[in-house]
A = this chain, B = another copy of it.
Amino acid sequence: MKDSERPIGIFDSGLGGLTVFKAVRRLMPSENIIYFGDTARVPYGTKSKNAVISFSKEIAALLSARGVKLLIVACNTASSLALEEVRKVSKAPVIGVIEPGARAAAAATVNKRILVAGTTATVLSGAYGRALKKLDPGLLVREKACPLFVPLVEEGWCGKKITELVAAEYLAPFKKQRFDTMILGCTHYPLLKKVIGRVLGRGVRLVDSAEAAAFEARAALVSRDLLNPGYGGKIRFIASDAPEKFRILARRLLGIKTGRVEVKRF
């Protein structure tokens, strides 16, 4: 197998990273992709740094052993807490979602006021704030943990009034502070774009790291001459638990037909 034909590895704590999968697939339809969802230990966003590092290294080693040419850490929590550690065990170059998301937000803001919503672990890590300040020390950044967003999405309640009330509880206090840009700092949150938009109003641009990460991935492949020139890449899904539920939710929440989902228990 030519190096360019080796798959891109994408991993996430569960299903949320499929938003990154979709963006990568749309941008680079010729690429072979292996997606790993750690459904046995999901969620990561409420766990400790030690746990997230240990889980992430385990998965990076597994995807390395499967010969991936690029590893995308699609999970914001793992990108925030474990990126350096993952780089140590991965043979392939590693891309997280924080820096691409931060760059997209810094490019989008006009008044230099950026709000970041994420899991408890992501917000506590301060990773988005650091990445944004590095790009532009003049940015005003506030970060807000929204731990109920993931279970609401997984319950399939994205369009319900209750979900809008939860979003208002978390985000309405920030309305006065005139943020013009918000980072959806968790892969599940793009599914809540509509309700979040209704709470914050039209003036706020919602930035989703998935697309930005896909562009960064393509740039990384181009610069290493690893882009697959073929036609129609193959996709493959692995979950650490409940592969059938993964298949059903992938279809219901994101419209992705996974085919058979392989199970790999730790």
CB-based contact B41/A154 at 8 Å: no
In the complex, whether A147 has a CB less than 8 A from a CB of chain B is yes
How far is A169 from B162 in the complex, measured between Cα atoms in Å? 9
In the complex, whether A54 has a CB less than 8 A from a CB of chain B is yes
CB-based contact B51/A241 at 8 Å: yes
Chain B contacts of A165 at CB under 8 A? 162, 165
In the complex, whether A172 has a CB less than 8 A from a CB of chain B is no
Could you say which of A42-50, A91-99, A106-114 contacts chain B?
A42-50
A residues adjacent to B (C-beta < 8 A): 39-42, 46-48, 50-51, 54, 147-148, 150-152, 154-155, 157, 160, 162, 165-166, 169, 241-242, 245, 265
CB-based contact B148/A242 at 8 Å: no
A-B contact pairs, 10 of them (CB 8 A): A40-B47, A40-B51, A50-B241, A51-B241, A51-B265, A148-B151, A148-B155, A148-B157, A160-B169, A162-B162
Shortest Cβ distance from residue A152 to the other chain B in the assembled complex, whole angstroms: 7
State the main secondary structure of chain A at its contact with B: loop
CB-based contact B162/A152 at 8 Å: no
How far is A165 from B42 in the complex, measured between Cα atoms in Å? 26
CB-based contact A46/B147 at 8 Å: no
- Of B42, B47, B151, B155, which contacts A241 at CB under 8 A? B47
How far is A155 from B162 in the complex, measured between Cα atoms in Å? 16
Shortest Cβ distance from residue A51 to the other chain B in the assembled complex, whole angstroms: 4
Q: Which residue of B lies closest to A41 (CB)?
A: B41
Chain B contacts of A150 at CB under 8 A? 151
Shortest Cβ distance from residue A158 to the other chain B in the assembled complex, whole angstroms: 13
CB-based contact B166/A51 at 8 Å: no
How far is A265 from B154 in the complex, measured between Cα atoms in Å? 27
How far is A155 from B241 in the complex, measured between Cα atoms in Å? 25
How far is A50 from B54 in the complex, measured between Cα atoms in Å? 22
CB-based contact B169/A46 at 8 Å: no
Shortest Cβ distance from residue A24 to the other chain B in the assembled complex, whole angstroms: 26
Please name 5 further chain A to chain B contacts, defined as beta carbons within 8 Å, in addition to the given A40-B41, A148-B148, sorted by A numbering: A46-B154, A48-B242, A148-B155, A151-B151, A162-B166
